[in-house]
Amino acid sequence: MTTKTLAVELPEDLYRKFVETVTEKRGRWRGQESFTEALESAVAAALMLFLQGLDGEHELPEFHDYACEKYPEIDEDLITMPDYHD
């Protein structure tokens, strides 16, 4: 799989909250991976969720499948998605 770099400007408070949330050791997102790996996987997951929420065709894995592949040690019952289509 090839990768691309995406540089975006974010408000500082959003950036800080995101980084703190996904890089906290043994936190809700970061397991054994490095600080950088945790950031990259969280951004990929966020982008997938964003794109899945748009109308139209896409060829992205479902978030549940992505999470199961990324974190096989997590019980599948813990991986849930909020229903934004109410």
Structural domain of 54:
33-76
| 3-class DSSP assignment, residue 85 | coil
Asked if the structure places residue 85 within a domain, the reply is: no
Count of structural domains, the chain: 1
Does any domain span residue 25?
A: no
- What is the value of pTM for the model shown? 0.58
Residue in this structure with the two tokens 């096989």, named with its chain if needed: 72
Domain assignment present for residue 50? The answer is: yes
Q: Which residue has the tokens 């929420």?
A: 53
Residue 40 lies in a domain: yes
Structural domain includes residue 56? yes
Q: What is the DSSP letter of 77?
A: G
The answer to whether 45 touches 56, Cβ cutoff 8 Å, is: no
Instruction: Report yes or no on 23 lying in a domain.
Output: no
- Residue-level pLDDT, tens digit, the chain, 86 residues: 688 888 889 899 999 999 998 888 888 888 878 888 888 888 988 888 888 777 666 565 666 677 777 777 766 665 555 454 44
Domain presence at residue 49: yes
* 37 located within any domain: yes
Length of the chain: 86
